A and B are shown apart, each in its own frame.
Chain A
Amino acid sequence: MGEETTPSQTVGPYFSIGLGWLNRGDLARGASGGERVTIRGRILDGEGQPVPDACLEIWQADALGKYAGPEDSQETSPAQRFSGFGRIPTNDRGEFSFTTIKPGSVTGPDGRPQAPHLEISIFMRGLLRRLVTRLYFSNGPANAEDHVLNLVPAGRRATLIARPLAEDPHTLEWDIRLQGEHETVFFEC
C-alpha cells in the first residue's frame, strides 16, 4: 500500500447543484424484459422527522443477474441496455420513488447465488460518509439462504426488505430509518 486514501466529507445541503444533472429515477428505461417495479418510501431521522435533503444512489444487476461493465465477466445478456445506475433525491416531504427492473440473482462469495438485491448509497447533510445498505424483495425464497442477510441479526432483517402494496404488487414500500426503533441496517462496505 502506497498512498493513504482520501477521506470522505459530507455532501452538505447544496449537493443538488452538482449532482442533480444526473438524477435518474427511471432505471427501467432502455431495459428489455424483466419485471418492472416501483419502489417508494421516506427517509426519517432520529426524531422521526422526514429528511428532505437526501439523495439515494442505486446500483444493481439486470433481470438476468448481470452487472453492466467489464468487471462482471458473466456472459452478456441480449439487448443489454440496462445501466443499473440510479440517483434519486428526496422531496420536501422526505419521500423518494424510483422505477426499475427486479434484478436477477448474482453470484455470492462462496459461489452460491445471492438473493436479488439492490445496492444503495445514501448521501445527506449530516453524514460525513455515505451510508450503504441493500434492498431485498419480500417474495424471494432465496432470502433465507442469502449470506449477507444471514449476517444481519434476525430481528433486524425486515428493515432491508421492501413490501409490496396489497392493491398493487408492483409497487413496493421501503422506508429508511436512520436511528431509533426499526433503524435500517447499514453496512461497512
Chain B
Amino acid sequence: MLRYRRPAPGTQPELLHPPYVSSIKRAPAQPLIQLPHTLSETTGPSFSREIVPPKGFDLTRQHKGEPLGERIVVSGRLMDEDGRPVAHSLVEIWQANAAGRYLHKTDQHDAPLDPNFTGMGQTLTDEEGRYRFVTIRPGAYPWRNHYNAWRPRHIHFSVFGPAFATRLVTQMYFPGDPLLEFDPIYNSVPVESARKRLISSFDWATTTPEIALGFRFDIVLRGRNATPLEP
C-alpha cells in the first residue's frame, strides 16, 4: 500500500482566510491532526457508467429548448502529480447561467433564470483520464462578502480520484477575467503558480467551428509516494 503525498506548502488554501468572510465562523480553530494513511484513506468510492445520465455531459441539451448564452466546450484530463491518467472517475460540475443566476432557492440575485438551463453536469473520465462537457459560459454575479463584491465567472468541479485521500472540490475560472484579482476565494491559494492552475486556457483544438469555443482545464490530484508502507 502506498501513501498519498502531502500537498506542497502554499499550494492549497488555508481554512481560515479572513478576506473570505464566511470562513471566519466555519474554519476550525484548533490545529488539524495529521491522519496517517491506512486502507481507509487509500481506498475510495467508484461509480459505474450506469448511474451517470447519458446527457450529463451536455448541459445545453437537458431541456426542450436551448439555453441562452455563449456555448462552450470544457474539457481536460484528470491526472495525478506524476501525469498518470485517472481513468473511469466521476466528475460533477455545477454553475450559474449566462446571466449569473443559479437555479437555487437561496440565490436572490436579480437576474433571470433560464428555463432551458439547470447548470448541472456529470460524466466519467475515459481510459486516458479525459472528460468533456458542453455548456454555456456562466455569468459573473454579485455576492455580499464585501462592498461591490463580484465573483469571477466560474464552474464548480467535484472529482473523486482513486481514494478518499484524493477527493477534491474546486472551481474553474476563465482566462483574462478582470475579477480574479479581487476575488478572495481565488486568492485564498497562497502560491501564485498553484492558483493559476484554477484558470482554464482557451483551446483551439476543442473549439468547434460555427458551434462553440473550447476551454481546457486539467485537474491534478495528489500522487503516491514511491516507497510502500509496511504491509
Contact = CB atoms under 8 A, between A and B. Distances in A.
Interface of A: 1-19, 21-22, 45-47, 49, 51, 53, 57, 59, 61, 67-69, 71-72, 83-85, 106-111, 114, 117, 119, 121, 123-132, 134, 147-148, 151-152, 156, 178-180, 183-189
Contact of A46 (B29, B34, B195): B29
B35 A189 contact: yes
B230 A12 contact: no
How many chain B residues sit at the interface, stated as a range, is 35 or more
B134 interface: no
Given A4-B197, A9-B170, A189-B41, A128 B13 contact: yes
Main secondary structure on chain B at its contact with chain A?
Answer: loop
6 contacts: A7-B189, A9-B186, A13-B107, A18-B93, A111-B231, A187-B35
B111 interface: no
A11 B12 contact: no
A112 to B, nearest CB: 11
Interface of B: 5-8, 11-15, 17, 20, 22-30, 32-46, 51, 53, 79, 81-83, 92-95, 102-104, 106-107, 118-122, 156, 158, 162-165, 167-171, 185-186, 188-189, 193-195, 197-198, 218-223, 229-231
Nearest to B173: A9
B158 A19 contact: yes
B25 A179 contact: yes
